[in-house]
Amino acid sequence: MSANDEVFGTSGNDVLSPDHDGSILYGLGGNDTLVNGNGDDILYGGEGRDTLRGGGGDDVYEGGAGFDVLIGGTGADRFVWGMDALDGNRDLLYYFSAAEGHVIDLSAISAHYGWTQSQAEAAVSVTDGPKGALLSVATPDLGTISLIDIRGVAASEVTGALLLVSGPPPDTGDDDGNMALTLPDDRITIGEEGNVEVVLSGLDADATAVITISDGTNSLTSPAISADGSVVFDLSGFDDGAVTTEVTATDAGGNATTRQGPGLTLDTAPDTSADADGNLTLTAPDTEIDAFEADDVQMTVTGIDDDADAVVEISDGTTTLTRTLAADGSVSFDLTGLQDGPLTSRVVVDDTTGNTASVDGPGLTLDTVTPPPAENEIFGTSGNDTLIPESTGSILHGLAGNDKLFNGDGDDILYGGDGRDTLRGGGGDDVYEGGAGFDVLHGGAGADRFVWGMDALDGNRDLLYYFSAAGGHVIDLSKVAEHYGWNQSQAEAAVSVTDGPNGALLSVATPDLGTISLIDIRDAAASDITPATGTLLLTGASADDDANMALTLPDTLITAGEEGNVEVVLSGLDADATAVITISDGTNSLTSPAISADGSVVFDLSGFNDGAVTTEVTANDSEGNTTIRSGPGFWIASSGTLSLAGEAAAVVIDLAAESYATAARVLAIGDSLTVGWRDRNDPAESNAEREGFRQDMFERIATDGGWYDYVGPYQNGPAGMLDRDHAGVAGWEMAQLIANGYFTNMLEDHAPDVTLLMLGTNDLDEGTADVLGTQANLVSDLTTAVEQFYAVSGNDDRHLVVSTLAPLTRRDNEPEHAYFANEGYSIVGGTAVAGDAGNGTYVPGIKATIAGLQASHPTLMLFENPHAAHPPSDTADQTDHLTGDEVHWSAGAYTEYADALADLLVGGIGLAGGTFGGSPVALPGIANVTGTEAGDRIRGDAGANRLDGGGGNDLLEGRGGADHFVFDEKSLSQTTPDRIADFNATENDMIDVSAISAFFGWTLSQAQAGFELVAVTGGVDLTVTASGSTTSVVHAAQITLGDISLADDVILV
């Protein structure tokens, strides 16, 4: 990156940290973190929850839309708010200093409303708040907006540092700021190039001007400027294409100002085509036209040249229909006069020069023949079907594809299936179920029921039209409630209906998929869709009235010799119900023979394939109700091979111990200490490689024989770090964690078994103004965070680990501040002292608060941060963990934290089956393993094993014998290579990358040229180079190049 570079983020969550001065950073969409350097940088957050962090230099910060956190640095910084910031989110501004020349710039808002200085002063108010100053803006159209919370300063300091109305600085070549260029014609065609006019306005009386026009190669400066400001240029020698304009004014004092003018396009080549840019296109949203659609067939034309007109033609080969376009490029046809069958379409354009062009559009199929009388049950195909029964009481199955299902006047049932389906109502009391994909449902006459099941929770929000509470319509979510085992009150808590811009919006908060926005119910009010009104059915009639029917498996891994005697146990069957158990490997299925009195059923799976197997039970009661429950899955490994390919959850497999377990999911959430910042003033520090305590703890647990899976939306860490996921956000306070459902969303999205919460340092980092008030807010917010954690479904059995805080010394913070936050304080003789003095004045800190909450939450744990000790006699020892920025920690301090935290987790939760709180499952007789799509730990035994990690970043360990370590093309997309812990060529270990060679289609000689063994820190990497890109496939730890040979120890093809 060079100075003055522009760096653009993505629509996701980016971290932009330039190494050079004078850069411009654009976060764009997502929740971004922008960190400036020591030059005069410009930071634009864009949309989302952004953090803009200062350094040195005179910088400009503009958070944009969304809730933003701006953190000032040294230098005369300018903090800008424009109209996009008036969105109802109050931004946080830290370290604002009028003494350093900081300015809050609201001039863009004033310019939008046309305010003078006095009008802006009347609209903007700054008042003292509980933590600093609060700035609000009274607008004429949006009401009063609470815009900025400016921490640690008084309102009087902010008032003197406001820029409300901006104009050009004095003594420039354009004192009044109104100099501009205009173009009477911005497209110059053949014959016009010799007489191109540019007009200058707003030139100061004491200034002269020079206009420059350029095509990038050729440039001209202005001849004499007419009294009216016009200048005529002859551009005959210019190249066709984009041309720029610019004016430079110099006043009598020698001050100069340059303004960019509008661009123009030079197009003097002869016009030989009515589609000069070749982008003319004709499209149709629907190409299968039935009798219901034939009178209104929509098509759209794009790419029409400015000087062209277009007509669209549709023909059946005998009759051709022609239509002109609407202004937006759309056209509508009535095809009822054409013959059924294939139709052609095309668009024809004519330009002003007389050129003609045409482009064929999509082929259409017209089918207006009324289908024959329907049978009772009709099935579509895997394609796009139109099903229109005439008989009453029909059942339509769209299956796959984008289907259209039209019911008749009877009581019909319409199942859309997969794809983008349209289910259209008629008469009768009908049942509609769109299924998976984005669906559109149209209610009809009669008491219709609209059903959503688990397959609809796929992230697509369906559209429901013509819903009528008065007509007896009902939205039925009982299948969803049944899947999760919700009773009525639980379902009511999970389902919410709110008023949206076009009707009512219905969402479902699930324990595993997060909150799903499920239905947009057009032209309906939320008050019309409630259980009380009978329009929202949450729990229906069931063949499992007490919702306790379940399947269990005594053995979840079926090895050689066990496949003929596989037991499944049913419990909770209602007394008036019968049940059928179904077991399937995806190809083969069996239903249960007789179920024993104890609920057990024995299956013979001798004909089943090795791999994953599913179970399901269907119960039918005496009233005709049906309930289906999915049971636990299991694996068949009758050939001594276990394949978990396609499974999402990481596992720990130990063939020597004959066991496996699902790896615990660990969410590290917090601020920059969780991200892993060390010294923000060190220009050599790379954000991409920050890891803090996370890698040290991961490697420590791995060394102890354990394994877990970090989860979270962000990734940071150095090369070789096997798991880089986390949820740390630099600069965050506890209040931000609990605001707007962020913490709850993280927990629901990632379902961690263990959550590591270290947050509060930024709450303390506000100087000495209100230490006690800061502590009170911090502890209150922490209590809310704990309550939010345990409010998430399933979290009563999951662990929340809260860390105490280490001291910081930046901005006059004393080590005692962290000590007060951890220990709480009492008032003795009018003075606050740390801890409980026993005089009734004690205000609890973090430790006492967590201790009090543990009575209600046994899985809540307190971690005593090793850097949180407070020995009053040795101030240096209180802060020896800090680096030069006085906030963040040294590498050694992070390692100490990681070791102490690992000790707590191993001692407090324990490693079972190789992971925190694991449930190991017996795994006898397995020699060969393929792992999951996540990062697994797979350990062999003393024999010859074939170990394939599958997807994710895996740790493989042969542990004796001639082991084969297998890798395929999944390795090419990984940031960090898989790791072999104990490769040993003397034991005839081999690395097999033949699947990668096959992926590239390589011969042996090509593979020999493409793969290379490279010495790296801690071992040897096997790399592959293809199409100019080199990827490390696997890292063999603790060996040298002398311990491995490409020719002898690597299977290339």
Instruction: Note the pLDDT tens digit of each residue in 532-572.
Output: 777 888 876 677 766 678 899 988 888 888 899 999 999 98
Are 683 and 813 part of one and the same domain?
A: yes
Give 540: exposed, middle or buried? Use CB within 10 Å, 0-12, 13-18, 19+: middle
The pLDDT-based confidence of 390 (bands split at 50, 70, 90) is: low
- Three-state SS at 727: strand
pLDDT surpasses 70 at 602: yes
Q: Which helix (H) or strand (E) holds 156?
A: helix 155-159
Are 757 and 842 part of one and the same domain?
A: yes
Instruction: With beta carbons less than 8 A apart as the criterion, state whether 972 and 993 touch.
Output: no
Are 414 and 475 part of one and the same domain?
A: yes
Residues 473 and 448: their CA atoms lie apart, in Å, by: 5
Q: Which two tokens stand for residue 411?
A: 């009581």
Average pLDDT of the residues in 307-333: 90
In a domain, residue 273? The reply is no
Q: How far is CA 362 from the centre of its chain?
A: 35
In a domain, residue 285? The reply is yes
597: CB partners within 8 A, 6+ apart: none
Q: What's the one-letter identity of residue 751?
A: A
| C-alpha distances out from residue 627 to 491, 599, 620, 756, Å | 17, 17, 7, 39
Average pLDDT of the residues in 368-384: 65
| CATH number for the domain that contains residue 502 | 2.150.10.10
Q: DSSP E strands: which ranges in 555-604? A: 557-559, 566-571, 577-584, 589-591, 600-603
Q: Which two tokens stand for residue 1006?
A: 């090509």
Of the candidates 917, 885, 914, the one whose C-alpha atom is nearest the C-alpha of residue 809 is 885
In a domain, residue 651? The reply is no
Between residues 729 and 30, which one has the greater pLDDT? 729
pLDDT surpasses 60 at 374: no
Are 791 and 885 part of one and the same domain?
A: yes
Q: Which helix (H) or strand (E) holds 118?
A: helix 117-123
In a domain, residue 923? The reply is no
Q: How high is the pLDDT of residue 977?
A: 95
- 687: which DSSP letter? G
Are 830 and 715 part of one and the same domain?
A: yes
Residues 832 and 838: their CA atoms lie apart, in Å, by: 13
The pLDDT-based confidence of 284 (bands split at 50, 70, 90) is: confident
Between residues 792 and 416, which one has the greater pLDDT? 792
Residues 466 and 354: their CA atoms lie apart, in Å, by: 50
**Average confidence score pLDDT of the chain:** 87
Average pLDDT of the residues in 384-397: 72
Are 484 and 565 part of one and the same domain?
A: no
Q: Cα 608–610–611 angle (5° rounding)?
A: 115
Instruction: With beta carbons less than 8 A apart as the criterion, state whether 544 and 629 touch.
Output: yes
Structural domains in the chain (count):
7
562: CB partners within 8 A, 6+ apart: 555, 638
Residues 348 and 322: their CA atoms lie apart, in Å, by: 10
Q: How high is the pLDDT of residue 541?
A: 65
**Please, what is the angle between helix 846-854 and helix 815-823, to 10°?**
20
Q: What's the one-letter identity of residue 516?
A: I
Average pLDDT of the residues in 253-261: 84
| Strand bridging mode 103-105 / 78-80 | parallel
Q: How high is the pLDDT of residue 327?
A: 81
500: CB partners within 8 A, 6+ apart: 520
| CATH number for the domain that contains residue 304 | 2.60.40.10
Instruction: With beta carbons less than 8 A apart as the criterion, state whether 358 and 347 touch.
Output: yes
Report percent pLDDT > 90 for the chain: 43
Instruction: With beta carbons less than 8 A apart as the criterion, state whether 213 and 181 touch.
Output: no
Average pLDDT of the residues in 576-586: 91
Of the candidates 585, 556, 586, 578, the one whose C-alpha atom is nearest the C-alpha of residue 568 is 556
Are 384 and 500 part of one and the same domain?
A: yes
Residues 894 and 696: their CA atoms lie apart, in Å, by: 8
Are 755 and 877 part of one and the same domain?
A: yes
- The CA radius of gyration of the chain, in Å to the nearest whole number, is 35
Region of 428 on the Ramachandran plot (φ > 0 left; ψ -120 to 50 alpha; else beta): left
- The domain in which residue 247 lies consists of 180-267
Residues 677 and 808: their CA atoms lie apart, in Å, by: 14
Q: What's the one-letter identity of residue 970?
A: K
Are 532 and 559 part of one and the same domain?
A: no
Residues 108 and 93: their CA atoms lie apart, in Å, by: 18
The pLDDT-based confidence of 92 (bands split at 50, 70, 90) is: confident
Query: What's the 3-state SS for 754-777?
Result: EEEEECCHHHHCCCCCCHHHHHHH
Average pLDDT of the residues in 641-660: 91
Which region among 16-25, 88-97, 934-943 has the lowest average model confidence (pLDDT)? 16-25
The pLDDT-based confidence of 869 (bands split at 50, 70, 90) is: low
Are 514 and 579 part of one and the same domain?
A: no
In a domain, residue 932? The reply is no
Which region among 268-272, 435-439, 846-850 has the lowest average model confidence (pLDDT)? 268-272
Residues 707 and 934: their CA atoms lie apart, in Å, by: 12
Average pLDDT of the residues in 990-1015: 96
Q: How high is the pLDDT of residue 758?
A: 96
Domain termination site, one of 880, 915, 950: 915
In a domain, residue 929? The reply is no
Are 48 and 107 part of one and the same domain?
A: yes
- List phi, psi (to 5°) of 659: -150, 160
pLDDT surpasses 90 at 665: yes
Instruction: With beta carbons less than 8 A apart as the criterion, state whether 564 and 606 touch.
Output: yes
Torsion angle of the four alpha carbons 135, 141, 142, 147, in this order, in degrees rounded to the nearest 10: -20
Number of Cβ within a 10 Å radius of residue 252: 11
| C-alpha distances out from residue 195 to 13, 211, 447, Å | 50, 15, 73
pLDDT surpasses 60 at 19: no
The pLDDT-based confidence of 877 (bands split at 50, 70, 90) is: low
Residues 450 and 435: their CA atoms lie apart, in Å, by: 11
Domain termination site, one of 537, 566, 581: 537
Are 849 and 759 part of one and the same domain?
A: yes
| C-alpha distances out from residue 833 to 327, 770, 825, 827, 871, Å | 76, 15, 5, 6, 14
User: pLDDT tens, 681-735?
Assistant: 888 888 778 999 999 999 999 999 999 999 998 999 998 899 999 999 888 889 8
In a domain, residue 1009? The reply is yes
Residues 519 and 506: their CA atoms lie apart, in Å, by: 5
Average pLDDT of the residues in 510-515: 86
The pLDDT-based confidence of 70 (bands split at 50, 70, 90) is: confident
Residues 130 and 71: their CA atoms lie apart, in Å, by: 19
The pLDDT-based confidence of 624 (bands split at 50, 70, 90) is: confident
- List phi, psi (to 5°) of 406: -115, 125
The pLDDT-based confidence of 372 (bands split at 50, 70, 90) is: very low
Q: How high is the pLDDT of residue 906?
A: 96
The pLDDT-based confidence of 169 (bands split at 50, 70, 90) is: very low
Average pLDDT of the residues in 659-677: 95
Domain termination site, one of 915, 949, 974: 915
The pLDDT-based confidence of 777 (bands split at 50, 70, 90) is: confident
pLDDT surpasses 80 at 78: yes
Q: How high is the pLDDT of residue 483?
A: 86
pLDDT surpasses 50 at 2: no
The pLDDT-based confidence of 1033 (bands split at 50, 70, 90) is: very high
User: pLDDT tens, 751-774?
Assistant: 999 999 999 988 887 544 467 778
pLDDT surpasses 70 at 621: yes
Between residues 609 and 409, which one has the greater pLDDT? 609
In a domain, residue 811? The reply is yes
Q: What share of the chain is helix, strand, coil (3-state, %, to 5)?
A: 15, 35, 50
**Please, what is the angle between helix 742-750 and helix 771-791, to 10°?**
40
